[in-house]
Amino acid sequence: MTVLMTTPPGHDVILYDGHCRICVGASKELKRLLGGHGTELRNFREEGALAAFPGVSPERCEAAMQLVQADGRVVEGAEAIVRGLGRRVLGKVLYIYYVPGLRQLADAMYGMVARYRFRIAGRNCPDGACAVHFK
């Protein structure tokens, strides 16, 4: 598997979909769990949000949450959650994700929710952009 590298931000940055109600809720919970320590959360749909991260495309962000680590390595999906929370005491329990079989199951479940997130929870587009983006 090829590891995507981008410009190192010096701290972790989680890129989430601000038009997705599930993603917005998850980002709020992540912010609470992280306690504001060293991780920035950004809505990838905000103008200029991806400019600092060459190679991290809107298409990648559409498919899964992205974690740009302090050193510029990018991980996505369920692994982004595990790595993002992994430095917290209770987050270390999430490393069970790397047990063979569990990782594949978690990735499949994450992929299913990500793929159907707008059908599951609807869209959150205060500017009406969803009518354009998701026809």
What's the CATH number for 4-123?
3.40.30
| pTM for the structure as a whole | 0.84
Q: What does the pLDDT average to over 42-51?
A: 96
Torsion of CA 14, 22, 19, 84, to 10 degrees: 0
pLDDT in tens, 7-21: 999 999 999 999 999
- The confidence score (pLDDT) of residue 87 equals 77
**66 or 124, greater pLDDT:** 66
Q: What is the spatial distance between Cα 82 and Cα 43, in angstroms, rounded to a whole number?
A: 19
Q: What percent of the chain has pLDDT over 70?
A: 89
- The confidence score (pLDDT) of residue 118 equals 86
- The confidence score (pLDDT) of residue 91 equals 75
- By mean pLDDT, which of 42-46, 92-96, 99-103 is the weakest? 92-96
- The confidence score (pLDDT) of residue 55 equals 95
Q: What does the pLDDT average to over 25-46?
A: 89
- pLDDT of residue 113 exceeding 90, the answer is yes
pLDDT in tens, 55-84: 999 999 999 999 999 999 999 999 999 998
